[in-house]
Structure 1
């Protein structure tokens, strides 16, 4: 049985990184003044979902399963907040908020790239340690829980909401409902999270995604 947990995290990082590159490369034109919106919204929605699932599922797993779990989990939460704050700046800039309207896009994307890499690199390292310390059955269960948590996670960055404990669960549930309302009202396209099935061999799609970061939909 292969390691679905590490595979899921690697594929998710590959997809989200490709969406980030596409969002950064999008530029409005005279004929298409809103050309930046679809790619940027797709990146923000998918990454916000993933960050929510990390806080809901992976952080508690790190805290319970690793010897230095308390400190490692705290660092994971800290880096997730930093990424959410950078994504909030991108969202504010995209929609013309006075909060970020005077800041250049290059500065915003630089922060997003740096904080995205910081979080996903730590996430991959901690997942590798969990895999080493946990049997395959529980790793498969954790993979499925991450997927389901992404489905119920907010689709917009919320860096200032509680992230852990009962308050964190309630905050994510409320934010998810509010985000769904505005997503529907704005006609916002929300991508599906990654789901890796527990087969003995990687599917062609998984092999393709692990081999390169650019997706057919993003060519």
Structure 2
């Protein structure tokens, strides 16, 4: 009989507003049920008023694996990935009683770190700044050039600019490929000419633009 009574509720279709309206009719004889509908209406109204960038769907079949929830429960899904919920939680009024703190209600959520990681990988959602840790890579042309590069790197780091030196005097193609693979936006080159003139050649890896700059101008350019 209990299952038969629940079927009209579980089979509700339509918009969130239509479901809530129908629920009021189905639960008209239940004070607790109507209170639950009122709480859901409050949640949907607040989300709409705040213009939150979220799509809410009232799922009357949703159930959580823990029994201490006393109000609305939620699950969050990634829209463009074949994945279960990545976040879940809800309202609880009596949970703190277990720890000797009565009369304190709250809302709690948990995050599925592994699933979020899988979604980020699947949809390639890692921001560029999270992958890129270096702003400028100094190429390595030999011992004399390296000495000058290290001096400049020290100055740039003191100015808050992440800089590094390629670890060996490899072919230019290999060094540039390294910068591309690390998504480093700039490559600084100091060869014989730059060493003599006290300058640096700076290449923007995305546009291919290359400039010859003084040390002071290099710092300002990378800060821009």
The two structures share one fold, judged by TM-score above 0.5: no
TM range (shorter): under 0.3
- The answer to which structure, 1 or 2, has the higher relative contact order (CA under 8 A, 6+ apart) is 1
- Whichever structure has more strand as a proportion of its residues is 2
Q: TM-score, normalised by structure 2?
A: 0.20
Q: TM-score, normalised by structure 1?
A: 0.21
- Whichever structure has more helix as a proportion of its residues is 1
